[in-house]
C-alpha cells in the first residue's frame, strides 16, 4: 500500500537523523578553528598546546579548509552570511580583513588583548589585520615571494624583470624558463599587484573609504608594470602552461629542472629540501625583481591572520584561544615545522628559525617592504576584475587595456560589475 510504504520510508529516514543527532559529551567548551592546514601538523600542535594551557576552559578543534584561498573564502563567506554559530576562530587570508569587517562578520580586538597581539609584530602584517582604525584579527603567519634561481645556470641574477627575462633567454639550450603564477586565480592578482606597486602605482586609491574608493592605476607606471607581463608572456622562456600555472606548477618547474628562475613563496626551500635535496646546493635566492631600474621592488605579501567570528557563542574564550594560538612559541613551530614565516619580528633572529630559513633576513626585509593588496571590502571583486581583464597573460596590451581595467575596477568597487 502506498501509505504503508510512505510510513516505512519516513521511518527509514528518521533513523539516520537519530544517529546524527547523538553528540559526544564535552569537557569544557569546544572552539572550532576553520583553517587550511599546514602539511606538518603544526596547527594541530598549536591547538593542543593552547587547549592544555587553558586548564580545561576550552578545547580547539581544527576544521580543515581546502588549500586554495579562493575556495577557502567561498566556504567561509557562505557560513558567515548564514550567521553560522560554529565559526569561532578562522584562519583569515590577509586580504579578507576589510571585507569581513565591513560585513560585520568579525569581532574586533580591543584593550589589552589588542596590545598583546600587536606587540613586536612586523608592520606589514599588522596593517593587514587593521581596517579603518580598528584591529580585526591577530597576525599569525606571513609570507612573501623571492626570486629563486639555479646558481649553476645564472650565478648572479639581474635586479629587474626585463633583465632577468633577458638573462633567461640568453641561456643556451632548454631548461631556461621563468616560472610565474599566471593562472586565473588570486595568485595572478598577487603578481599584478606587486608589479604595479613596484612601478609606483596601485590598483585602488583610498581602498578603506568605500565612498571614495576608486581605481588608481596611474597611466605611466601602469603601462610599465603591464609591459613586464607582456614581455614574459610573449617570451620563449615563459612556461607553456603559464595561463594555468599556480604555486604548485611553479614549484614543480623548479624541481623538475625546467626553470632557471622561479617566483615563489618561502615554502619552495622546504619543498626542495624534502623532495630533492641534491638540488639544494644549486638553489639560489634573491630579492623580488624590480620593475623600474633603481626603484625598490615591492614583493607580494601573503599570510594568515586569526579572526574570531561575530556569531560565536564564546567570544571571550575564542579571543583568548586565538591570542594563544598566535603566540611566539606557536609561531616558531609553524615556522620550523610548517615552513610558514612568523609575524613576530624577533623570531627572525631565533636560531631555529634561521636554520629553517637560511634567507631569514631577506625574508624579513621582503615582508617589511612588501606591497599589500588593496584593503577594500570589495577586494575579492577587484581581484576578479583584474583576472577578467588581464587574463590570459598573453592577451595583455599595456597601451589599450588600462581604461577597461579602470572601468571594471570602478564597477567592482560599487557592486555594479558582472564578473
Q: Where do contacts with other proteins occur on this chain (CB under 8 A)?
A: 1-2, 5-6, 9-10, 12-13, 16-17, 19-20, 39, 64-68, 71, 74-75, 77-79, 81-84, 86, 99, 102-104, 184, 210, 241, 243-244, 246, 248, 377-378, 380-381, 384, 388, 411, 415-419
Roughly how many angstroms between the first and final C-alpha of the chain, as a whole number? 52
Least spacing, CB of residue 404 vs other proteins, in Å? 9
339 contacts 267 by C-beta, under 8 angstroms: yes
Of 62, 69, 30, 76, nearest to 304 by C-alpha is 69
Q: Which is nearer to other proteins, 178 or 384 (CB)?
A: 384
Rounded Cα distance between 167 and 228, Å, is 14
Q: Which is nearer to other proteins, 151 or 404 (CB)?
A: 404
Q: Which is nearer to other proteins, 13 or 55 (CB)?
A: 13
Rounded Cα distance between 364 and 297, Å, is 14
Would you list the DSSP string of 235-266? STTB-TTGGG--HHHHHHHHHHT-EEEEEEET
Least spacing, CB of residue 108 vs other proteins, in Å? 17
Least spacing, CB of residue 162 vs other proteins, in Å? 27
The gap from C-alpha 117 to its chain's centroid, in whole angstroms, comes to 20
194 contacts 299 by C-beta, under 8 angstroms: yes
Least spacing, CB of residue 393 vs other proteins, in Å? 14
Least spacing, CB of residue 248 vs other proteins, in Å? 6
Q: Which is nearer to other proteins, 135 or 389 (CB)?
A: 389
Q: Which is nearer to other proteins, 101 or 344 (CB)?
A: 101
Least spacing, CB of residue 412 vs other proteins, in Å? 9
Which grid cell is 249?
Answer: 606548477
Least spacing, CB of residue 103 vs other proteins, in Å? 5
CB contact set of 410 (below 8 Å; sequence gap of 6+): 214, 215
Q: Which is nearer to other proteins, 320 or 381 (CB)?
A: 381
Q: Which is nearer to other proteins, 16 or 172 (CB)?
A: 16
Rounded to 5 degrees, φ, ψ at 329 are -60, -40
Which grid cell is 381?
Answer: 571583486
**The cell 594541530 sits on which residue?**
44
Amino acid at each position: 500500500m502506498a501509505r504503508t510504504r510512505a510510513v516505512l520510508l519516513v521511518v527509514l529516514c528518521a533513523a539516520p537523523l537519530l544517529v546524527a543527532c547523538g553528540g559526544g559529551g564535552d569537557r569544557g567548551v569546544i572552539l572550532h578553528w576553520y583553517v587550511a592546514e599546514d602539511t606538518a601538523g603544526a596547527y594541530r600542535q598549536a591547538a593542543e598546546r593552547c587547549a592544555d594551557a587553558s586548564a580545561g576552559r576550552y578545547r580547539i578543534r581544527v576544521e580543515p579548509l581546502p588549500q586554495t584561498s579562493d575556495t577557502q573564502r567561498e566556504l567561509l563567506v557562505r557560513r558567515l552570511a548564514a550567521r553560522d554559530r560554529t565559526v569561532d576562530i578562522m584562519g583569515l587570508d590577509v586580504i579578507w580583513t576589510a571585507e569581513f569587517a565591513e560585513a560585520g562578520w568579525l569581532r574586533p580586538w580591543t584593550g589589552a588583548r589588542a596590545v598583546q597581539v600587536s606587540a613586536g609584530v612586523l608592520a606589514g602584517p599588522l596593517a593587514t589585520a587593521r581596517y579603518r582604525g580598528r584591529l580585526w584579527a591577530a597576525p599569525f603567519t606571513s609570507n612573501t615571494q623571492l626570486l629563486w634561481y639555479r646558481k649553476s645556470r645564472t650565478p648572479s641574477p639581474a635586479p629587474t624583470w626585463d633583465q632577468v627575462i633577458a638573462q633567461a633567454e640568453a641561456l643556451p639550450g632548454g631548461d631556461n624558463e621563468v616560472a610565474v603564477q599566471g593562472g586565473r586565480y588570486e595568485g595572478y592578482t598577487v603578481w599584478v599587484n606587486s608589479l604595479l606597486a613596484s612601478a609606483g602605482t596601485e590598483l585602488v586609491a583610498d581602498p578603506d573609504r568605500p565612498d571614495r574608493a576608486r581605481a588608481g592605476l596611474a597611466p605611466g607606471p601602469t603601462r610599465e608594470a603591464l609591459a613586464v607581463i607582456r614581455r614574459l608572456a610573449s617570451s620563449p622562456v615563459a612556461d607553456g602552461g603559464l595561463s594555468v600555472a599556480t604555486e604548485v606548477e611553479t614549484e614543480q618547474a623548479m624541481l623538475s629542472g625546467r626553470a632557471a628562475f622561479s617566483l615563489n613563496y618561502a615554502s619552495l626551500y622546504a619543498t626542495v629540501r624534502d623532495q630533492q635535496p641534491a638540488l639544494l646546493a644549486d638553489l639560489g635566492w634573491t630579492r623580488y625583481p624590480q620593475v623600474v631600474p633603481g626603484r625598490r621592488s615591492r614583493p607580494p605579501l601573503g599570510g594568515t591572520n586569526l579572526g574570531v567570528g561575530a556569531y560565536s557563542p564564546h567570544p571571550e574564550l575564542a579571543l583568548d584561544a586565538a591570542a594563544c594560538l598566535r603566540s611566539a612559541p606557536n609561531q616558531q613551530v609553524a615556522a620550523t615545522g610548517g615552513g610558514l614565516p612568523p609575524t613576530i619580528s624577533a623570531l627572525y633572529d631565533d636560531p631555529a628559525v634561521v636554520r629553517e630559513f637560511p634567507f631569514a633576513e631577506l625574508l624579513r626585509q621582503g615582508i617589511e617592504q612588501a606591497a599589500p593588496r588593496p584593503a577594500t571590502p570589495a577586494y575579492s571583486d577587484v581581484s576578479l576584475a583584474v583576472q577578467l581583464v588581464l587574463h590570459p597573460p598573453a592577451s595583455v596590451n599595456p597601451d589599450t587595456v588600462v581604461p577597461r581595467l579602470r572601468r571594471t575596477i570602478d564597477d567592482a568597487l560599487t557592486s555594479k560589475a558582472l564578473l
